[in-house]
Chains A and B, each alone.
Chain A
Amino acid sequence: MSLIKLCEATKTYKGGDGVVEALKKVSLEIVAGEFLALMGPSGSGKSTLLSILGGLNPPTSGKLTVDNIDVYSLEPERLADFRHDYVGFVFQQYQLIPYLTALENVMLPLAITSRPGKEQQEMAHAVLEKVGLGSKSQRLPNQLSGGEQNRVAIARAIVNQPSIMFADEPTGSLDSKTATELLELFQVLNQDGLTIIMVTHNKENLAWVSRAVYIRDGILAPTPQES
């Protein structure tokens, strides 16, 4: 059964040149436990699709259901709860809070839960260990390398034990060795049951995923189209 079901999602933006159609009636189903790659060239609409799937960006038309929840029919505050409970994000530039340590950044999603402080710490430490940063928990983001910041972002995304993790070009700014380590980590998390949807334009990453979806000019394509 599908965990995520997107039906005929269209997204239009008003730009200087009139209305731009970023997504055109895109339908997509993702089952629990998939490691899905969203691939496509720049401007193809893959990041827009990711943000719609993640509950960040309501489609102009169409419907998204996650775990049978009609996501965009939720009130704004309930939508925030949905993101908190179901979704973890790894943003393109990691987006860590600069004045918080790695541990504090990871604990952020727990700050709005009723979990006691000790449990918050234990959970945050556990995921930092899992991403290999147990010894650097007290460092500020600017004291960490790009790959390490990425791992903190992953730890923050999974600390609340969401069902789905969205990652937008997670390997885009990493060297190949660090990128491989990151994808290995993604694979481990996926094997633990986490559904992962990753935007990437790097074909080498396809070796790690269970399925790839190609998007071009806002339309899903069954296979990549070489330009």
Chain B
Amino acid sequence: MEGNMTLTDIAIQNLRRRKGKTTFLLLTFVLVIGITVALNTLAKSMHDDLQKNLTQYGANVVITPKSEHFTLSYGGLSVPGVNFEVKNLNYDSLAKIKNSPDLMISGIAPKIIGSVKGADKRYLIIGVDFPNELKMKPWWQIKGLQPGDQEVIIGSSIASKENLVIGSTLELNHQIYPIVGILEETGGSEDNGVFTNFSTSRALTGINSWSMIELNTAQPNKTVAYLSELLPEAKVAEISQLVQGAKESVDRFSNFSLITSIFLGVIGVLIVFVTTSGNINDRVAELGILRAIGFRRRHIFSILIRETVFVSLSGGVLGYLLGELTPILLGPFVFQKTVSFQFNPFVGLTVISASLLIGIGSIFLTRRAITLDPLEALSYI
């Protein structure tokens, strides 16, 4: 080397000289951090998938007013009829739900539901906010337009039974409402419904409160428990059991990841501490020479810190990259799922900082070697 000689040069030369031990230490950092990040990435990816599924499956929590009298049915649930004395789900309940912390609600769709007399039969009127409703139920396909004031769209079953098409009219409460769209068959109760916006449904049914609020949340259990207390006038029920099993699996995997990460972390710390301690104790005589020729303790400490920072920082960065890339590369083969790259600065910073802390912590364990008297250190020769 034709350069100047600095403490950094001494540290780098030592690491180069002790290739085997340096590589072992580096690999320890890379593997422990890599596996920890990979498990975390997989757990997060599975959780994200679950979130997507929850959204795809629609609402998983339904809020209705408390009542013992039922006349109508929608979405598999009985809905209080307008002609019965029931408790109200006031409009401000929506704000209360929206302001609730940490419920991880990804969709919220209130409804006004009632029955209205038609020309020769009663119709199920469902007032919804279409943008929110369609976000929660992406499988709803509307032929035509979304209804504005004094307009309706009808379910496919009504359309076919009564030969109604877009442009036809429907008599409700002795008034004529143009049909601007038809909701294509869903196989559910929507096929027999007449959909309007809130103001029209309110005018038609005379209901001045929510008949139902559907929620999509990643934490249905927690949400049900919380909202039951928040809204004593409401009955809060969990649906979408379909994804419950998957959620339990994801939760189990997350727990497994956490336990494995902690276990690996402890093993990694022990390996790093023992290896670093061994490395430094092997060099006591060398450190004694440096002390004898005038190196201060802080110079020695500085050399060791540089060595450790170099290894632990490299190990942390490489481990993080390995942990992020492994699920992407192996996901399709091992887990039958595609994992997209998610740069997570918080996770990156956390694992790299932890790596550095472990490395620097290991130096303090070998403090005796640094503070050793030079003559005593030379006696190790």
Contacts and interface: CB of A to CB of B under 8 A. Distances in A.
Interface in B294-319: 294-299
Interface string B339-381: 0000000000000000000000000000000000011001001
B380 to A, nearest CB: 11
Interface in B268-303: 285-286, 289-299
Interface string B1-35: 11111110110011011100000000000000000
Contact of B292 (A85, A89, A101, A111): A89
A77 B302 CA distance: 14
Q: Is the interface of B mostly helix, strand, loop or mixed?
A: helix
Interface residues of A, number: 39
Interface residues of B, number: 31
A116 interface: yes
Interface string A45-76: 00000010010110000000000000000001
A156 B5 contact: no
A12 interface: no
Contacts of B381: 93, 95
Given A89-B293, A117-B3, A118-B4, A57 B298 contact: no
A83 B4 contact: no
Nearest to A85: B294
B4 A120 contact: yes
Contact of B293 (A76, A104, A108): A108
Given A77-B297, A80-B291, A99 B375 contact: no
Contact of A111 (B6, B14, B378): B6
A109 B294 contact: yes
Given A76-B297, A89-B292, A116 B13 contact: no
A29 interface: no
B298 to A, nearest CB: 7
Contacts of A108: 5, 10, 290, 293
Contacts of B14: 99
Interface of A: 51, 54, 56-57, 76-77, 80-85, 87-89, 91, 93, 95, 97-101, 103-104, 107-112, 116-118, 120-121, 156-157, 160
- Please provide the 4 A-B residue pairs with the shortest distance between their CB atoms, ordered closest to farther: A117-B4, A84-B294, A99-B17, A107-B5
26 contacts: A56-B292, A56-B375, A80-B294, A82-B294, A83-B292, A84-B295, A87-B294, A88-B293, A95-B378, A95-B381, A99-B13, A99-B14, A100-B10, A104-B1, A104-B9, A104-B13, A108-B5, A110-B5, A111-B5, A112-B295, A117-B6, A120-B4, A120-B5, A121-B2, A121-B4, A156-B293
Given A91-B378, A111-B10, 15 more contacts: A77-B296, A77-B298, A80-B297, A84-B293, A89-B292, A98-B17, A99-B16, A104-B13, A108-B293, A110-B5, A112-B294, A112-B295, A112-B299, A117-B4, A120-B4
